């Protein structure tokens, strides 16, 4: 990881430097591009650097500061996940099939950032078509976790979280279908925010499963996420006094490892002055949700790719992992999807009832710290299963529900060498309340200077 002055400034500090004149937009862009280049070499977190366009945008930003007409994010370098279209900048969706694809217009979320003055410095790596949790690639090479390069950064927004943890950039855009913003945030020690379903537009984002896809925001800290969220119309709301919070130490059948359990327990203790916390264990409301999620993704993603390309093209061009999943999708039936939908609707109803008694939910973001690269199966306590189920078991339910969820790093509470994330969940439409709570918690947990 980059250290000290080599690391990207926070978004607010960048803005302050630009406004005061201590930092020029051109220098900020050039330094961000240099960091991105080093990040690409060291941990393979960038797929494409956007040098020419970034420097053109920086020239415009400098003129706006001279004219006294800066926009909210004027001159701030950000990155964008490779699943999200960027006009004039190659967007591969993590796949060899789209090498050389240069969109002619921005995705809606990118357009919002550009119109606010942000400078897109590059595209961060993703699992092919966002269909995985490791950000590994047979074609482009694996993205590495900057805390321990023998480990995965999570996925599918692994490149963004890894780039932020490395220090190349302080904030950017990702996508989250079953945890793809929150999982890498937890494994890399950053903040990852998934707003309510449809709160941010998915226009111009390659779909994985349209009923579950959420654009999201990642940042080094809450101040970075809050500054980007503001341009999307989401300002934090101060939480009411003595909150009612339901805490889930784990979700069966997947238990937590020792580091995660210790960090979550420490987090709950720290939170006690702020809220009345009620532990909820051995509940059946989450049972069967991973299967419902997996079937939904198989059917929706399989349909999407089968409509775009013929089977021969998929076999010859897609990575073997993705092609095999599309073949599996052919075996799914209407009854499989109906069963998944019914389980989803029941969970949504159960969650609405739970939120009648509690303001927020808290639980680990993932049940374990970052697995080693190349692991297909994991064993946690007495449970063993796929790496994919382990990492998504605690996040995918909230894609099914469409509720806002945010991962905060908490490993500093126990001194864990590897990052651990805690997930905060709010009722649908309560994005501002969730941001406010997360900001207050982060401030409360910050070690003394």
pLDDT in tens, 390-433: 999 999 999 999 999 999 999 999 999 999 999 999 999 999 99
| 125 plus 273 within the same structural domain | no
Higher pLDDT, 244 or 283: 244
* Domain assignment present for 238: no
List of long-range contacts for 314-320, beta carbons under 8 Å, 24+ apart? 317/95, 317/96, 317/97, 318/95, 318/96, 318/97, 318/128, 319/95, 319/96, 319/128, 319/137, 319/138, 319/139, 320/138
Give the residue-averaged pLDDT of 134-140.
Answer: 97
Q: Decide if 392 contacts 133 (C-beta within 8 A).
A: yes
Task: Say whether both 175 and 227 belong to one domain.
Answer: yes
> Cα–Cα distance between 403 and 288 in angstroms, integer?
18
CATH number at residue 122: 3.90.1300.10
Integer Cα distance of 263 and 67 in angstroms: 49
Enter the tokens of residue 410: 């908490």
Instruction: Give 76-130 pLDDT, tens digit per residue.
Output: 999 999 999 999 999 999 999 999 999 999 999 999 999 999 999 999 999 999 9
The whole-number pLDDT of residue 183 equals 98
* 240 — pLDDT class (breaks 50, 70, 90): confident
Domain-located, residue 449: no
Kindly report the backbone phi and psi dihedral angles of residue 380, in degrees, each rounded to the nearest multiple of 5, phi listed first. Answer: -125, 115
Q: In terms of domains, do 191 and 145 share one?
A: yes
Q: Domain for residue 445, yes or no?
A: no
282 or 336, greater pLDDT: 336
Residue 219 pLDDT = 98
Is 448's pLDDT higher than 70?
Answer: no
Length, in residues, of the chain: 449
Query: Is 356 a domain residue?
Result: yes
Distances in Å between the Cα of 243 and the Cα atoms of 264, 286, 361 are: 18, 23, 11
In a domain, 440, yes or no: no
Domain that holds residue 298: 290-330
Q: Return the pLDDT at 95.
A: 98
pLDDT band at 281 (very low <50, low <70, confident <90, very high): confident
DSSP letter at 5 equals G
Q: Give the tokens for residue 106.
A: 């921005």
pLDDT of 282 over the 90 cut:
no
Q: What is the pLDDT of residues 158-200, one digit of tens each?
A: 999 999 999 999 999 999 999 999 999 999 999 999 999 999 9
d(C-alpha 209, C-alpha 217), whole Å: 19
Give the mean pLDDT of the chain: 97
Please report which helix (H) or strand (E) contains residue 51, including its range.
helix 51-67
Q: What is the pLDDT of residues 357-391, one digit of tens each?
A: 999 999 999 999 999 999 999 999 999 999 999 99
Q: Let me know whether 251 and 112 are in one domain.
A: no
State the Cα–Cα distance between residues 361 and 396, nearest whole angstrom. 15
DSSP state letter for 412: G
Nearest in space to 186 (alpha carbons), one of 93, 257, 84, 111: 257
- Taking a C-beta distance cutoff of 8 angstroms, is the pair 9, 47 a contact? no
54/71 same-domain check? yes
Task: Give the per-residue pLDDT at 25.
Answer: 98
Residue percentage of the chain with pLDDT more than 90:
95
Q: What percent of the chain has pLDDT over 70?
A: 100
Question: What is the Cβ-side half-sphere exposure of residue 359, based on CA atoms within 13 angstroms?
Answer: 18
Label residue 259 by pLDDT band (50, 70, 90): very high
Task: Look up the pTM and report it.
Answer: 0.97
Q: Are residues 406 and 368 in the same domain?
A: yes
Residue 448 included in any domain: no
Please identify which residue in the block is written with the tokens 């501002």. Answer: 432
**Which are the catalytic amino acids?**
81, 156, 180
Return the pLDDT at 446: 84
Considering the domain architecture, whether residues 104 and 36 belong to the same structural domain is answered as yes
**416 lies in a domain?**
yes
Task: Say if 274 falls within a structural domain.
Answer: yes
Residue 64 shares a structural domain with residue 122: yes
204 has a pLDDT exceeding 80: yes
What is the rounded average pLDDT of the residues 292-316?
A: 95
Mean pLDDT of 223-230: 98
Do 147 and 42 fall within a single domain?
yes
Q: Count up the domains in the chain and report the number.
A: 3
SS3 sequence, 323-375? Answer: HHHHHHHHCCCHHHHHHHHHHHHHHHHHHHHHHHHCCEEEEECCCCCCCECCC
Please indicate, yes or no, whether residues 355 and 373 belong to a single structural domain of this protein: yes
Whether 50 shows a pLDDT value over 70: the answer reads yes
pLDDT at 449 over 70: no
**131 in the same domain as 219:** yes
In this structure, the answer to whether residues 349 and 213 fall within a common structural domain is no
pLDDT of residue 175: 98
Give the residue from 415, 49, 45, 449 showing the smallest Cα distance to 263. 415
Task: Give the pLDDT score at 206.
Answer: 98
């Amino acid at each position: 990881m980059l250290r000290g002055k080599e690391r990207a400034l926070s978004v607010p500090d960048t803005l302050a430097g630009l406004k005061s004149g201590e930092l020029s937009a051109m220098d900020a862009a050039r330094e961000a591009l240099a960091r991105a280049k080093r990040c690409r070499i060291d941990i393979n977190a960038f797929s494409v650097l956007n040098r020419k366009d970034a420097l053109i945008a920086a020239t415009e930003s400098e003129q706006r500061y001279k004219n006294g007409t800066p926009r909210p994010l004027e001159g701030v370098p950000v990155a964008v996940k490779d699943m999200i279209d960027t006009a004039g900048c190659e967007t591969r969706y993590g796949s060899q099939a789209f090498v050389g694809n240069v969109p002619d217009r921005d995705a809606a979320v990118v357009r919002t950032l550009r119109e606010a003055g942000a400078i897109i410095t590059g595209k961060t790596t993703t699992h092919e078509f966002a269909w995985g949790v490791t950000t590994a690639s047979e074609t482009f090479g694996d993205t590495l976790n900057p805390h321990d390069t023998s480990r995965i950064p999570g996925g599918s927004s692994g490149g963004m979280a890894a780039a932020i943890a490395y220090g190349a950039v302080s904030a950017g855009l990702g996508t989250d279908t079953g945890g793809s913003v929150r999982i890498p945030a937890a494994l890399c020690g950053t903040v990852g925010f998934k707003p309510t379903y449809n709160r941010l537009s998915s226009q111009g984002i390659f779909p994985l499963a349209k009923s579950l896809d959420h654009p999201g925001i990642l940042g080094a800290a809450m101040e970075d996420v809050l500054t980007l969220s503001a341009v999307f119309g989401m300002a934090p709301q101060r939480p009411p006094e003595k909150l009612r919070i339901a805490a889930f130490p784990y979700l069966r059948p997947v238990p937590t490892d020792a580091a995660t359990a210790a960090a979550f327990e420490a987090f709950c203790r720290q939170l006690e002055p702020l809220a009345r916390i009620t532990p909820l264990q051995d509940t059946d409301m989450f049972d069967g949700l991973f299967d419902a999620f997996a079937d939904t993704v198989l059917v929706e993603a399989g349909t999407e790719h089968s409509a775009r390309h013929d089977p021969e093209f998929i076999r010859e061009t897609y990575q073997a992992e993705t092609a095999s999943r599309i073949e599996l999708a052919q075996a799914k039936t209407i009854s499989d999807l109906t069963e998944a939908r019914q389980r989803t609707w029941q969970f949504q109803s159960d969650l609405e009832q739970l939120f009648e008694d509690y303001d927020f939910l808290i639980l680990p973001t993932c049940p374990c710290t970052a697995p080693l690269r190349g692991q297909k199966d994991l064993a946690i306590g007495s449970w063993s299963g796929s790496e994919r189920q382990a990492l998504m078991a605690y996040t995918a339910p909230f894609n099914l529900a469409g509720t806002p969820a945010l991962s905060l790093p908490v490993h500093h509470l126990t001194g864990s060498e590897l990052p651990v994330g805690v997930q905060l969940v709010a009722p649908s439409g309560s994005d501002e309340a969730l941001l406010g709570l997360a900001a207050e918690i982060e401030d409360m947990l910050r070690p003394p200077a």
